Amino acid sequence: MKRLIGLSAILLSMAFSQGVVTQLDNGSINYSDQTMAAVGIGFVPQNVINAGQARRMALRIAKQDALRQLIEIVNGVTLTSETTMSGAMVNDVINTKVRGFIRGARQVGDPKYLSDTSVEVEYSVSMSGISDIILPPLTVAAPPPGAAQPGTGAATPTTGGITGVIIDARGLKTRPAMAPRILDQNGNAVYGPGTYDRSYAVTNGVAGYSKTLEAAQKDPRVLGNPLVVKGISTSGTNRTDIVISNADVSKIDLANRSYNVLKDCRVLILLD
């Protein structure tokens, strides 16, 4: 009951947001601000000496509970069109690194002391830390002669220049993921591993997500003069990869050759 009360606050705060958030029984995954959060609950043990000790022990138990919930949440994160993090966590090295990263989660806000003496506390981790563990050390080919040099990932608007790509995937039942791909009508990857710089992908995420075009156009990832193209279908078991028309592929290719929009991960996806 207390966990439902605590999570209701998260649900309420997200109700007024244009962010893309997956709500779970034990927390949330925010694909827009690239964070994962969980609420832990701590109950006062029976054999406490005084009120101060009771509070400290309840807080410790609540933190341990939140970190355990975070591990469960990370396991359920969609990684690609065919895999989730639970599949990646089978690897002992990745599992150890992810668990170590989660132990460094930061507390969000102040603890909530409930009437039954239990304590609620929220902890959060950034997806960038998970990406740094998961994403392979890919390299990207040097830009063609005459192409702009790499930017900062959040482009400074230039007159007439393309500052990013917005893929409108509304109506396709597309799902968010940590490493989505953009495909042409022949199934070839227009955007995916090998087309973006790993450092940008770790810091900013492979792609951003939004629910309205207005909010997307104001996102620092593509702010200025983004190219907007319409997705025509999804691909993969998890419905995270988006297929675009071959005509739009040419537009994106030209923008990338001139402004490095793909290399710098300046891609934002609109979802329902």
Q: What is the pLDDT of residue 19?
A: 81
- Residue 170 neighbours by CB under 8 Å, 6+ apart: 270, 271, 272
Angle 127-133-139 from CA coordinates, rounded to 5°: 105
Strands 189-191 and 241-244: unpaired
The domain limits of the chain are 2-134, 165-270
- What residue type is 265 in one-letter code? C
Most confident of 44-48, 106-110, 112-116: 106-110
Average of per-residue pLDDT values in the chain: 86
pLDDT digits (tens, 9 = 90+) for 35-57: 999 999 998 777 766 777 778 88
Residues facing 27 on adjacent strands: 24, 38
